[in-house]
Structure 1
Amino acid sequence: MTNSIAKAPVWDRIKLRAARTFGAWGVFFKGFVKHPVMVGSIIPSSATTVKKMLEPVNWAECDVFVEYGPGVGTFCRPVLERLKPDATLIVIDLNPDFIGYLSKTIGDSRFYPIHGSAADVQNILRDLGHEKADYILSGLPFSTLPNQLGPKIAEETYAALRPGGAFLVYQFVKRARDFMAPHFDQIDKGYSLWNILPCHLFWGWKKE
């Protein structure tokens, strides 16, 4: 008697076994294979990159934190560890595998995983009862997103942030700054060497 894995096509069986064997890494790999232009990397960010990316955040004044493309939660757990007890973390991803995985593995009442597009961030915030976000984090590969989606997300992000808030972006290429520049007057930059691959870090601040 054959099981469901044996009945599946060969490539599907490989992806399923990877997910079961490697847990979060398997889910991340599966997501990359299905949507490579949306994920951007086959390996989650390093702990060093996460720490450096989140350093400028004023957690005492952060009520709503949003992340685009959370993957398997590499940033989610560190953000939740830093958030106030009454704050909110909203993560938005077009990949249902990632949203499903996060929904099952993160049991925090402050956590809201949303299956949707980052371009709809303003509507998503309103639907959850929030007017603006304090910080928005993104690892989406802006330069490879389809149909002018990169510029649209940058524009919507600026509108969704409160004055004094920031757009936190980590990318393998510098071009991400080009998408931020039309909207953010102050863009601080950094670099994380201890990552596979090394990546550029940007913090775009909305004027008070």
Structure 2
Amino acid sequence: MSTALVLREFVRNPLRMASVTPSSPALAATMTAPVPSSGEPIVVELGPGTGAFTAAVQQRLGSRGRHIAVDLNPHLAEVLAERFPSVEVVVAAAADLPAILADRGIATADAVVSGLPWAAFSGRAGGRLIDTIATTLHPAGAFTQFTYTWSRWATPSRRQHEQLRDAYDEVIVSRTIWRNVPPALTYVARRPHLRRS
């Protein structure tokens, strides 16, 4: 079901989908590893799609904290809300993240997990998206983003990596996750330089 749904939505709008297949459990585990394993964390998921990362976040949280999933695609958001009733699903653009958190009385997120495609990081609002995410992240929080191994050296991926290095003190690149199709790697960014004014 999820593979068919992802493929259908990719065909409808390929620039808004990061992949034609759902992410693997191996990639999901790496992407969600920075989600705090104790306390009551606030976790934001951007571009959750059909929920490969959502399931992993929920498993790490158990019944703790809050999990807010932001997707621009209303159909995918509806499916996600049905699958994960405890997740706060919001139909909005990732660029609206500061307002989304403020509307819920949240100052900062402890983790931001992004399944967004490169296209989301381009254009007027998208070009500032990494900075926008940094302003909403707790100083001890982490932001994760994935890219495909074969495209790591492409201009959009290199630009994104440079933006991450500009916005965060530390950016760690994972080893290749071969058990994903196609093989992928993740960026884990910590200690944001930027704070909301």
Q: What TM-score, normalized by structure 1, do the two folds share?
A: 0.81
CA RMSD of aligned residues (A): 1.9
Partner of 1:9: none
Tell me the alpha carbon deviations over residues 169-208 of structure 1, each in whole angstroms, 9 at most, x when there is no partner.
Answer: 1112331312312201200111212111111210000259
Partner of 2:180: 195
Q: Give the CA deviation at 1:85.
A: 2.4
Partner of 1:36: 14
Structure 2: stretches of 5+ with no match in the other structure: none
C-alpha contact (below 8 Å) 1:135/1:166 kept by paired residues: yes
Partner of 1:122: 98
Q: What TM-score, normalized by structure 2, do the two folds share?
A: 0.86
Residue 48 (structure 1) aligned with residue 26 (structure 2): yes
Residue 99 (structure 1) aligned with residue 83 (structure 2): no
- Structure 1 distance, partners of 2:179, 2:134, is 29
Instruction: Provide runs of 4+ in structure 1 moved above 6 Å.
Output: none
Structure 1: stretches of 5+ with no match in the other structure: 1-22
Residue 24 (structure 1) aligned with residue 2 (structure 2): yes
Partner of 1:186: 170
Tell me: CA distance 1:171–1:183, structure 2 relative to 1, closer, same or farther (3 Å).
same
Tell me the alpha carbon deviations over residues 94-143 of structure 1, each in whole angstroms, 9 at most, x when there is no partner.
Answer: 111110111222222xx101100001111001111211100001121225
- Structure 2 distance, partners of 1:156, 1:145, is 11
Q: Give the CA deviation at 1:144.
A: 6.6
Give matches, 1:4-19, under 5 Å. Answer: none
- Structure 2 distance, partners of 1:135, 1:146, is 22
Give matches, 1:28-177, under 5 Å. Answer: 28-61=6-39, 63-108=41-86, 111-142=87-118, 145-172=121-148, 173-174=151-152, 175=157, 176-177=160-161
In our comparison, the structure showing a higher alpha carbon Rg is 1
Bigger RCO of structures 1 and 2 (CA < 8 A, at least 6 apart): 2
Matched residue count? 184
Query: Identity of paired residues, percent?
Result: 26
Partner of 1:17: none
